[in-house]
Amino acid sequence: MELIKAQKGTQDILPGQSENWQVVEDVMRSEAALHGFGEIRTPVFEDTRLFQRSVGETTDVVQKEMYTFQDKGGRSITLRPEGTAGVVRALLEHALYNNGLPVKLHYFTTCYRYENTQAGRLREFHQFGVEMFGSNSPSADAEVIGLAKSVFDRLGIKNLRLEINSIGCPTCRAEFHKALKAYFTQYKDQLCETCQGRLERNPMRILDCKSPICSKIAEGAPKILDYLCDDCKAHFEAVQKYLTAVGTEFTVNPTIVRGLDYYTNTVFEFISGDLGAQSTLCGGGRYNGLVEEMGGQPMPGLGFAMGIERLMMVMDKQNIEMPAPDRCEIFIASLGEAAHLEAFKLADSLRKYSIIAACDENDRGLKAQMKYADKIGAKYSMVLGDDEIASQKAVLKNMKTGEKKTIDLSKDFVEQYVCLSTEQEDLAF
Ligand code: ATP
Ligand code: MG
């Protein structure tokens, strides 16, 4: 029968890798908690209109990348391509803003985008993200950026740069749009087909186009920073002041616009010098218009999303050492049914004391059982057979040193095991 393979652009995360993911996720959870961001979990699928309205009709995500289908009830459903829209929906649906402002949330999600797959560009990928609602203070921008930075710092990631920009508010952006439109109109025939469409509706999107010709033309385009109104300019300067106050290094890059339409004012990216084209590890910014756009009262918001696969790739490349995964402490081999029952009971009692224990589940011969114990890296082993059951004596063996100690099966096993193994660990030091 033909084997069915995983879908293009999806990956399995296997034991051996998943332990590293857990380490990374623990750091993210811990930083989120330190900054007071509670966890939110939203559904994988939502009403398609949620993303059309929030992410924006003229973005790559909505135009080309969404997994949209009709369910059996005739509804248009989309697998979430990003995390913010669902969080904003939940904020409004549960009136989370009544619990005091700002509302601070973090999430771990899978995202779905129909992308041209390549290294660091998948169709199912994972994000860690945070959102903060109800503060327009520049210190909130610096706090959110600082949270992302703390995660990278604690994981020991090097060679990262933080680039920031301001894309202003709808008022100053209107002038900028006019200037952009005039500029790009000169090159209309050279722009890709998608960008020709964007020229009328959302010229700023052209700045984010990945096509080499469009990017080349975009280099000479007007710069948003020259169009910021006084309020937006002051906000952006204050964000930089707060970042500097805590020693966060950054560069201002006026070409960053981000791939989603809801951003206003501050936008930022953490970019790795160790990845090829897919070098953005984390992107975020302010979206002061989004909550209102989604049907709520006007409320400022901001956040970021970090791509976990790309982060793991960088950690791999930088050979960042990860703690060794927990391995089996003791394997209890058995021969015969009575011994197997005893081994099963002993393993069970060890686990109740958080000791990782295993016994044979395959009715194998002794040699095969010991081979398996070796494979799973068991530190100790013990063999039970009819003789051991009859004499109530068994031998605990240190698999590395070969050292052997006798165990009295008529007495508490866990206590004897803990005593003997601690003694040996102590000797090893
Ligand atoms: P890009 O410009 O690389 O397409 P984006 O602007 O679409 O990124 P966001 O929507 O801001 O990315 O997502 C935040 C982060 O999620 C990115 O910085 C990246 O680390 C990660 N990410 C985005 N798309 C993918 C993908 N297809 N596969 C893996 N990670 C992704
Ligand atoms: Mg993208």
DSSP category for residue 97 = G
> Rounded to the nearest whole angstrom, what is the distance from the C-alpha of residue 368 to the centroid of ligand 2?
50
Distant-in-sequence contacts of 63-68, Cβ < 8 A, 24+ apart: 63/194, 64/114, 65/113, 65/114, 65/115, 66/112, 66/113, 66/114, 67/112, 67/113, 67/114
What pLDDT, on a 0 to 100 scale, did the predictor assign at position 80?
Answer: 98
Tell me the pTM: 0.92
Copy the structure tokens of residue 333.
């081999």
What pLDDT, on a 0 to 100 scale, did the predictor assign at position 58?
Answer: 79
What DSSP assignment string belongs to 272-336? Answer: ETTSSS--EEEEEEE-TTHHHHTTS----EEEEEEEHHHHHHHHHHTT---PPPP--SEEEEE-S
To test the pocket of ligand 1, the residue of 117, 144, 280 to mutate (highest count of ligand atoms within 8 Å of its CB) is 280
Note whether 214 and 206 are within 8 A (CB): yes
Percent of the chain with pLDDT over 90: 87
Q: Which helix (H) or strand (E) holds 125?
A: strand 124-133
What residues flank ion ligand 2 with Cβ within 5 A? 259
Note whether 87 and 40 are within 8 A (CB): yes
What pLDDT, on a 0 to 100 scale, did the predictor assign at position 16?
Answer: 92
Binning pLDDT at 50, 70 and 90, where does residue 205 land?
A: confident
* Ligand having the closest approach to the CA of 120: 1
CA nearest ligand 1 atom 23, residue: 307
pLDDT (tens digit, 9 = 90+) per residue, 402-413? Answer: 999 999 999 999
Binning pLDDT at 50, 70 and 90, where does residue 208 land?
A: confident
What pLDDT, on a 0 to 100 scale, did the predictor assign at position 290?
Answer: 95
Residues with a CB atom less than 6 Å from ligand 1:
82, 113, 115, 120-122, 125, 127, 258-260, 278, 280-283, 305, 307, 309-310
Binning pLDDT at 50, 70 and 90, where does residue 57 land?
A: confident
What pLDDT, on a 0 to 100 scale, did the predictor assign at position 63?
Answer: 87
Instruction: Give domain limits for the chain.
Output: 18-169+229-317, 330-420
> Among the CATH numbers 3.40.50.800, 3.40.50.620, 3.40.640.10, 3.90.220.20, which is that of 330-420?
3.40.50.800
What DSSP assignment string belongs to 177-241? Answer: HHHHHHHHHTTGGGS-HHHHHHHHH-GGGGGG--SHHHHHHHHTS--GGGG--HHHHHHHHHHHH
Please state the separation of Cα 270 from the chain's center in Å. Answer: 14
> Rounded to the nearest whole angstrom, what is the distance from the C-alpha of residue 345 to the centroid of ligand 2?
53
Tell me the mean pLDDT in the region 197-224. Answer: 90
Residue 247 has pLDDT above 60, yes or no: yes
Q: Does the structural domain 18-169+229-317 have CATH classification 3.30.930.10?
A: yes
To test the pocket of ligand 1, the residue of 24, 114, 310, 312 to mutate (highest count of ligand atoms within 8 Å of its CB) is 310
380, β-bridge pairs: 330, 398
pLDDT (tens digit, 9 = 90+) per residue, 325-372? Answer: 899 999 999 999 999 999 999 999 999 999 999 999 999 999 999 999
Binning pLDDT at 50, 70 and 90, where does residue 427 land?
A: low
* Ligand having the closest approach to the CA of 60: 2
